[in-house]
Amino acid sequence: MKIGIVCYPTYGGSGMVATELGVGLAKRGHQVHFITYRRPPRLTTFHENIFFHEVTDDDYPLFEYPPYDTTLASKLVEVVHYEKLDLLHVHYAIPHATVAYLAKKVLLQRSRYIPVITTLHGTDITVVGNNPSFAPVVEFSINKSDGVTAVSKSLRQQTYEYFDIQRDIEVIYNFVDFTRFHRENKDHFKKAIAPEGERILVHVSNFRKVKRVEDVLHVFRLVRAQMPAKLLLVGDGPERRKLEDLCRKLRLCDDIRFLGKQDAIEEILAVADLFIMPSENESFGLAALEAMACEVPVISTNTGGLPEVNIHGKTGFLSNIGDVEDMARNAIRLLSDEQLLQTFRKNALEQARRFDINLILPQYEAYYQHVLDTCVRSEAERARLLSE
């Protein structure tokens, strides 16, 4: 099968999932074409079945902002036509589902039908899509897709609540690659971070307000008051300056490290004792899943899809949004009891195995084939009606 994948080539969850999905499909013999404005961060090695098509914007004095949507649509038409793709899989409703619909209409003028599958990842529905200025286009684009998937049951339900969706949405969970994410001995790294055997807490995000990273610092402040501990903050974003100021205000900077964006997240998770995710909204919680694959229990909020990943009282604990005291109590409980911590580590790994990429990839393959078969039947029916 020849598959075109359109995504944001960023460190965010949708870009990571789209890239690793494509790599996994290529390993299973499919030909995968990434179509985006920059090579995705996790697309780091050569593979005979992977192709990259860069979308470039030319400066033109008429436009204050380059018309990326139009440029992307033109590139999709070009790649589908010349590479003879079987389907397009676009990640994120805005603008990719809309652009794919435009490309599909152009291709129809050339007597070429390309099925489009849209995967909803979260903020395209809960934040961007719910904005009145975007909502009509998001709703239209979802309904005009040939197939739609969501990364959690919670996100599927929210989509139905926010929009008038006239089609089924298939839930296919995010996944983790255990060849990469697993616990291994990193004692030399751990001693460099925590030379006196301090507990290590980790948070990974893009430092946006919705991630509530300030809550991570307040949880750490309460934990640090009870035991020696270190906090590793992985990522970057608009809230970083405020976080650095808060770190100084709380006088915790000696025990907190800002590590910036990291490609080798698994090496950091390998030394962690606890993962903190206090987000205001998470459609799934991919970073939490990757931590669990490395046998790291999770302290998180109970929002969105997180309860589908982090099982309260088994793989970690769930708290209400903003309840840093409860998160800290749960963290201290785990970190103070080594036997309980080891039990939760084992449970976290067991739960993460439910999302093994080798279990999820066949679900995508089956869904691709279902959409292709449906489109072929629809095309045959249209041809029959036209001939009558």
Q: Is pLDDT of 7 > 60?
A: yes
Nearest to 91, CA basis, from 25, 150, 179: 150
Q: What's the confidence (pLDDT) of residue 385? A: 45
214-243 pLDDT per residue, tens:
999 999 999 999 999 999 999 999 999 999
One-letter identity of residue 116: V
The pTM (predicted TM-score) of the whole model is: 0.89
Check if 2-175+357-387 and 187-355 are the same fold: yes
Choice between 377 and 161, residue whose per-residue pLDDT is larger: 161
One-letter identity of residue 18: A
Q: Where are the domains of the chain?
A: 2-175+357-387, 187-355
Nearest to 139, CA basis, from 168, 106, 90, 97: 97
Residues contacting residue 74 through CB under 8 Å, at least 6 positions apart: none
7-21 residues labelled b (16+ CB within 10 A) or e (exposed): bbbebbbbbbbbbbb
Q: Return the CATH number of the domain spanning residue range 187-355.
A: 3.40.50.2000
Q: What's the confidence (pLDDT) of residue 63? A: 54
Q: Name the maximum alpha-carbon separation found in the chain.
A: 82
Would you say 240 and 217 are in contact if contact means Cβ atoms under 8 Å apart? no
Helices (H), 145-275: 153-162, 187-193, 213-224, 240-249, 265-269
Distance CA 268, CA 262 (A): 9
Question: Any idea what DSSP says for residue 50?
Answer: E
Distance CA 361, CA 277 (A): 26
Question: Any idea what DSSP says for residue 176?
Answer: B
Residues contacting residue 10 through CB under 8 Å, at least 6 positions apart: 40, 41
Nearest to 269, CA basis, from 335, 203, 221, 179: 203
pLDDT range class, residue 59, cuts 50, 70, 90: low
Nearest to 226, CA basis, from 348, 329, 95, 147: 329
Q: Where are the beta strands (DSSP E) in the chain?
A: 2-6, 31-36, 50-54, 87-91, 116-120, 147-150, 170-171, 199-205, 229-235, 256-260, 274-277, 298-301, 316-319
- What's the mean pLDDT in 260-286? 93
Q: Is pLDDT of 244 > 90?
A: yes
Q: What's the confidence (pLDDT) of residue 103? A: 93
Q: Is pLDDT of 388 > 70?
A: no
Q: Return the CATH number of the domain spanning residue range 2-175+357-387.
A: 3.40.50.2000
Count CA within 13 A, CB hemisphere, residue 286: 22
pLDDT range class, residue 124, cuts 50, 70, 90: confident
How buried is 74 (Cβ within 10 angstroms: 0-12 exposed, 13-18 middle, 19+ buried)? middle
How buried is 152 (Cβ within 10 angstroms: 0-12 exposed, 13-18 middle, 19+ buried)? buried
